[in-house]
Amino acid sequence: MNLLRCLQGLTRAGRVGVALLALGLGSAQAGVKVERLVLPNGVPVLWVQTPGLPMVDIQVDFDAGARRDPKGKEGLANATADLMERGLKARGDAPALDENQVGEAWADLGASFNLGAGADRFSLTLRSLTRPTVLDAAIRLAARHLGDASLDPDLWARDRARSLASLKESLTRPGTQVERAYARAVFGDHPYGREVTEASLQAITVADMAEFIQTHLRACRARVSVVGALDREQVRERVTQLLAQLPTDAQCAPLPSLPPVQALREAQNLRITLATAQSHVRLGQPGIARNDPDFFTLTVGNYVLGGGGFVSRLTEQVREKRGLSYSVYSYFAPGLQPGAFTIGLQTRPDQAEQAVQVARDVLSTFVREGPSERELRAAKDNLVGGFALRLDSNRKLLDNLANMHWNDLPLDYLETWTRQVEAVTTAQIRQAFGRVIQPDRLVQVIVGP
Amino acid sequence: MRKLCGWSLAFWTALSGAAPLTEPPTQFQLANGMNVIVQPDRRAPTAVHMLWVRVGSMDEVDGTSGVAHVLEHMLFKGTPSVAAGEFSRRVAALGGRENAFTSKDYTGYFQQIPAHRLPDVMKLEADRFANNRWPDAEFRKELEVVKEERRLRTDDSPRALLFEQLEAAQYVASPYRRPIIGWMEDLDTLEPNDARAFYRQWYVPANATVVVVGDVQVAQVRQWAQRFYGSIPARAVPARKPREEPPQRGLRRLEVKAPAEQAYVAMAFKVPAFQGFQTPHTTDALALTMLAAVLDGYSGARLQRALTQGSDRVADSVNAGYGFSGRGPQSFYLQGVPAAGKTARELEQALREQVARVAREGVREEELRRVKNQWEAAEVYKRDSLFNTARELGTLWIEGLPLDTNDRLMEALQRVTPEQVQAVAAKYFGDDQLTVATLLPQPRSDKPPRKPTQPLRHGGTP
């Protein structure tokens, strides 16, 4: 009893603690101060100076993720990213480098460089020591990947063969099957629902990649985020060098508009037969875009429903009470366009129907009634109390910066985050879930025997 | 109690002072034998708290495989003062994130928390370390969750099944032969008292260490550790049977049939482990580490270059790795996916040929320099994560190694010579200490399939 009172006391004290916490971050870390600068060529840079370790993380994002893959050439953005990593043509005194020489050059620097595409973003990430000789060379080499990619057709032929083989392998797995069927059903013909196929990989050529680069990888489309032991001048100088080979335009040509994500007209139940030890289940529908005004409301609500570690309603009902699944969760995937709201679990095949029913009941009840005041308090205690855990490494800070930048969030986003969470009410959660989720119109996919 | 609450806040506010951002780790022992390691890192106002118990699947006996991991799950199921599930609710209310993990060598529990919440989680963790109690019904329910975990991680994953079988074939006496998650047949017959007995036997203070990394002061953590953990009564750590693996006398080969499109081959060579800086095997262990990196430490390293490129490539992907250290025997692994039109046997020969080439021709200074540069940078990068720092410290304690091992290791690795790398390539890669496992892909039909290389976790979302 004593202990409990004490913990409650602490929790209350914790709310006072949050204000202190923000102060602490500022002083202890000399820099969760997010700053913005704009390069002469118009490229915006968000950055945080963290003097603690002699290293820097840089991310450059372009609006060139998989959703912009041309129909029939699904996989283009990622294939281009892979090939851009693998070879450079000569420019000036800089010699051509084949894929092995590129690998050696990065290893010699002890730096890591990566290109890749998600649904929305095509991203470059670079991690390097800030020792000037190393950082100089790393920035120069990364800049060459953006400007001098060799796009060797023989390399693509080999990479494609490898991708085809691993695609076939992945299709033997229940996890892949359930994800693909689910995305198709939720998004229909919208690019978020399209998938890489044998045919789409076969259709991609290095000419497509060159055109992709020409269209998308331009200074006017770049958003840069930097976290590390660099000051404003150093950030300005390094990012300028990094993007030096991107074409600059007075203004970017607009990208083609994409179709909207359509709401589901009716429920869909899909079953895919595969002889597996477990049935894999997905339930859901189109959810929200990141600019949805209810973003915070739904984030807090989902913590209660299926987001909060071992304490969510779904975990309580499916795992803790009934032992039906090792992992059960729900999430929103807010993108530039509405991503899916998804519930997922895996269970022994003979229990699949039961587990699905339990998950459906939990969702319906939650949408109808929303969380209790006590559950909302618990959600806020965790989200607000744990806010510092979202910022306690350079890597995490970089994720936050890139997210702010990508979604046009205000510079004081991190400072107001906990207030936004605190402001959410049970009525708002009920209302927002009622608007966004229709439990009678869900896509349900079960893959299993 | 009130005093404690008020105190942690006061502690918190006091911290905006001027102490250095990071300090080296400090280690001390409580009167009951429990070890404590503290490493201040004040880059952010957070901390990670871990409790490591020197007990893992290697401490199990036949018939109750998987019990160490099942017990890890049961630690979330209550004490006389904290009801089932309440531990997680309290950590969540503190703003914390938590989980647990089990490996062959250890079981660990952790919470990531705002630094001023440290005493709260220490108190909770000490309570369940000393007083874990639950009814049989909770055990039976959780056992079903663990079986689902096994189906997810192993039974439906052909390569996990392959590694499980590989280890089972590789060892006859060493407890490393058993899967961490346990054989399904053993899980089916596991009883609540198996877990309770394992708990009583191994969860004793002198068999555990607390690790705290973050925005903390050593003197303060010491005080809390004494208060919360120091009050647990001392008990003897049970004697352990060494169960050394007898020498292997010839190649072992096995096949695993499972639903897949691609074949897979995994080779495990028994090699010495690193057990400190002054053992007969130290030089070889360091050279084996370098050998793995020269073969596969970066993009374009030897294996990739020789086996996965060109139109007549033998593999779609390849990998080399060395276990390095642990409480049990260690292996050097070569593995890969054959390219279309190539057989697992061809890939097996090609992988071994790359080691044979090092044995014949040696390696170049520049390859070693490259790997050393990479490691030096990685030493900086890895400090970005408090969690990784804490995990490294916990692992060192589990293996009985001093806390400055990694710094000294970096120095020692800088001194490894091409001749030493060549020597280990010539010494350890014959047939007699080798086990080869090949995955024979089957169309998915009747029986469901089953190595977790990662420690198992109490739970999580993909």
Which string of DSSP letters, residue by residue, matches B16-48? Answer: TS---SB---EEEE-TTS-EEEEEEB-SSSEEE
Report the alpha-carbon distance of residue B325 to residue B206 in Å, rounded.
22
CB–CB of A13 and B5 under 8 A? yes
Tokens for B298, please give them. 């970066």
Nearest-Cα distance to chain B for A27, in Å, is 6
CB–CB of B151 and A278 under 8 A? yes
ipTM score: 0.91
CB–CB of A386 and B97 under 8 A? yes
- In a structure prediction context, what are the per-residue pLDDT tens digits for chain A, which is 449 residues long? 232 222 222 222 222 222 233 333 333 333 489 999 999 989 999 999 999 999 999 999 999 999 999 999 999 999 999 999 999 999 999 999 999 999 999 999 999 999 999 999 999 999 999 999 999 999 999 999 999 999 999 999 999 999 999 999 999 999 999 999 999 999 999 999 999 999 999 999 999 999 999 999 999 999 999 999 999 999 999 999 999 999 998 888 999 999 999 999 999 999 999 999 999 999 999 999 999 999 999 999 999 999 978 899 999 999 999 999 999 999 999 999 999 999 999 999 999 999 999 999 999 999 999 999 999 999 999 999 999 999 999 999 999 999 999 999 999 999 999 999 999 999 999 999 999 999 999 999 999 99
Report the alpha-carbon distance of residue B172 to residue B65 in Å, rounded.
15
CB–CB of A103 and B298 under 8 A? yes
**What are the E-state strand segments in A199-339?**
223-228, 268-273, 279-286, 328-332
Q: Which of B23, B60, B72, B164 is catalytic?
A: B72
With CA atoms as reference, the chain B residue closest to A28 would be B16
CB–CB of A348 and B151 under 8 A? yes
Closest in A24, A347, A389 to B16, CB measured: A24
Nearest-Cα distance to chain A for B61, in Å, is 25
Report the alpha-carbon distance of residue A54 to residue A47 in Å, rounded.
16
- Asked if B339 has any chain A CB less than 8 Å from its own CB, the reply is yes
Report the alpha-carbon distance of residue B160 to residue B63 in Å, rounded.
21
- Asked if B81 has any chain A CB less than 8 Å from its own CB, the reply is yes
CB–CB of B383 and A53 under 8 A? yes
- Asked if A275 has any chain B CB less than 8 Å from its own CB, the reply is yes
With CA atoms as reference, the chain A residue closest to B341 would be A165
Sign of the dihedral through C-alpha A243, A246, A250, A255: negative
Contact map slice: B 361-390 vs A, CB within 8 A: 369-371, 373-378, 380-381, 383-386
With CA atoms as reference, the chain A residue closest to B373 would be A110
Cβ burial of A26 (10 Å; 0-12, 13-18, 19+) is middle
Using pLDDT thresholds of 50, 70 and 90, give the confidence band for residue B20. Answer: confident
Report the alpha-carbon distance of residue B232 to residue A77 in Å, rounded.
58
- Asked if A158 has any chain B CB less than 8 Å from its own CB, the reply is yes
Q: Which residue has the tokens 């559950």?
A: A375
Contact yes or no for A120/A135 (Cβ under 8 A)? no
pLDDT tens column, B32-81: 999 999 999 999 999 999 999 999 999 999 999 999 999 999 999 999 99
Q: What is the DSSP letter of A69?
A: S
Judge whether residue B420 has pLDDT over 60: yes
- Asked if A16 has any chain B CB less than 8 Å from its own CB, the reply is yes
Half-sphere exposure of B157 (CA within 13 A, CB side): 15
Alpha helices by DSSP H, listed for B312-417, are: 344-361, 365-381, 386-398, 405-414
Q: Which of A388, A406, A384 is nearest to A397 (CA)?
A: A388
Q: What is the DSSP letter of A338?
A: -
Contact yes or no for A338/A261 (Cβ under 8 A)? yes
CB–CB of A158 and B313 under 8 A? yes
CA distances to A22, A195, B253 from B276, in Å = 44, 51, 32
Instruction: Give the CA dihedral A73, A77, A83, A87, nearest 10 degrees.
Output: 130
Which string of b and e fits B37-67 if b means at least 16 CB within 10 Å? bbbbbbbbbbbbbbbbbbbbbbbbeeebbbb
Closest in A25, A128, A274 to B45, CB measured: A25
Judge whether residue B315 has pLDDT over 80: yes
**Residue B1: its chain A contacts at CB < 8 A?**
2-3, 5-6, 9
Contact yes or no for B121/A295 (Cβ under 8 A)? no
Report the alpha-carbon distance of residue A425 to residue B460 in Å, rounded.
28
What pLDDT, on the 0 to 100 scale, is given for residue B458?
Answer: 63
Q: Which helix (H) or strand (E) holds B50?
A: strand B46-53
Closest in A16, A311, A386 to B95, CB measured: A386
Alpha helices by DSSP H, listed for B252-343, are: 282-296, 302-307
pLDDT tens column, B382-394: 999 999 999 999 9
* Residue B39 φ/ψ, nearest 5 degrees: -130, 105
- Asked if A276 has any chain B CB less than 8 Å from its own CB, the reply is yes
With CA atoms as reference, the chain B residue closest to A329 would be B461
Q: What is the DSSP letter of A190?
A: S
Closest in A52, A168, A326 to B149, CB measured: A326
CB–CB of A107 and B261 under 8 A? no
Q: Which residue has the tokens 């290389």?
A: B453
With CA atoms as reference, the chain A residue closest to B98 would be A309
Contact map slice: B 248-277 vs A, CB within 8 A: 259-262
What pLDDT, on the 0 to 100 scale, is given for residue B457?
Answer: 60
- Asked if B313 has any chain A CB less than 8 Å from its own CB, the reply is yes
CA distances to A273, B41, B75, B137, B381 from B197, in Å = 42, 38, 13, 17, 42
Report the alpha-carbon distance of residue B367 to residue B112 in Å, rounded.
39
B153 vs A25, residue with greater confidence: B153
Judge whether residue B427 has pLDDT over 50: yes
Closest in A53, A275, A324 to B384, CB measured: A53
Tokens for B335, please give them. 């593995």
Nearest-Cα distance to chain A for B371, in Å, is 7
Report the alpha-carbon distance of residue A376 to residue A397 in Å, rounded.
27
CB–CB of A11 and B94 under 8 A? yes
**Residue B389: its chain A contacts at CB < 8 A?**
none
Q: Which of A351, A346, A174 is nearest to B157 (CA)?
A: A174
What type of residue is B101?
Answer: F
Q: Which of A438-442, B161-165, B455-459 has the lowest mean pLDDT?
A: B455-459
Q: Which residue has the tokens 């006398």?
A: B249
Report the alpha-carbon distance of residue A389 to residue A393 in Å, rounded.
9
Nearest-Cα distance to chain B for A397, in Å, is 11
Sign of the dihedral through C-alpha A168, A174, A176, A178: positive
- Asked if B46 has any chain A CB less than 8 Å from its own CB, the reply is yes
Mean pLDDT for the stretch of residues B297-322: 96
Which residues neighbour B232 within 8 Å (Cβ) at sequence distance 6 or greater? B32, B34, B126, B129, B130, B205
Q: How many CB pairs under 8 A join A and B?
A: 280
**Residue A24: its chain B contacts at CB < 8 A?**
12, 15-16, 45
The pTM of the full predicted model, rounded to 2 decimals, is 0.92
- Asked if A326 has any chain B CB less than 8 Å from its own CB, the reply is yes
Interface test with A, best of B22, B43, B69 (most A CBs within 10 A): B43
**What are the E-state strand segments in A17-74?**
35-38, 44-49, 55-62
CA distances to A73, A260, A339, A441 from A191, in Å = 11, 10, 11, 21
Tokens for A57, please give them. 């993380």
Contact map slice: B 116-155 vs A, CB within 8 A: 116-117, 120, 123, 140-149, 151-152, 155
Domains of chain A with bracketed CATH = 3-9+25-242 (3.30.830.10), 268-448 (3.30.830.10)
Active site residue B72: yes
* Residue A205 φ/ψ, nearest 5 degrees: -120, 165
With CA atoms as reference, the chain B residue closest to A393 would be B384
CB–CB of B85 and A311 under 8 A? yes
Contact map slice: A 111-150 vs B, CB within 8 A: 111, 127-129, 134
Alpha helices by DSSP H, listed for B151-206, are: 158-170, 184-188, 192-202
- In order, the DSSP letters of B194-215 are HHHHHHHHH--GGGEEEEEEES
Q: Which of B458, B85, B29, B5 is nearest to B229 (CA)?
A: B29
pLDDT tens column, B255-282: 999 999 999 999 999 999 999 999 999 9
With CA atoms as reference, the chain B residue closest to A277 would be B448
Report the alpha-carbon distance of residue A446 to residue A439 in Å, rounded.
17
What pLDDT, on the 0 to 100 scale, is given for residue B310?
Answer: 86
CB–CB of B380 and A108 under 8 A? no
Report the alpha-carbon distance of residue B364 to residue B372 in Å, rounded.
13
Percent of the residues in chain B that have a pLDDT greater than 70, as a whole number: 92
Q: Determine the longest span between alpha carbons in chain B, in angstroms.
A: 73
- Asked if A354 has any chain B CB less than 8 Å from its own CB, the reply is no
**Residue A7: its chain B contacts at CB < 8 A?**
90, 93-94, 120
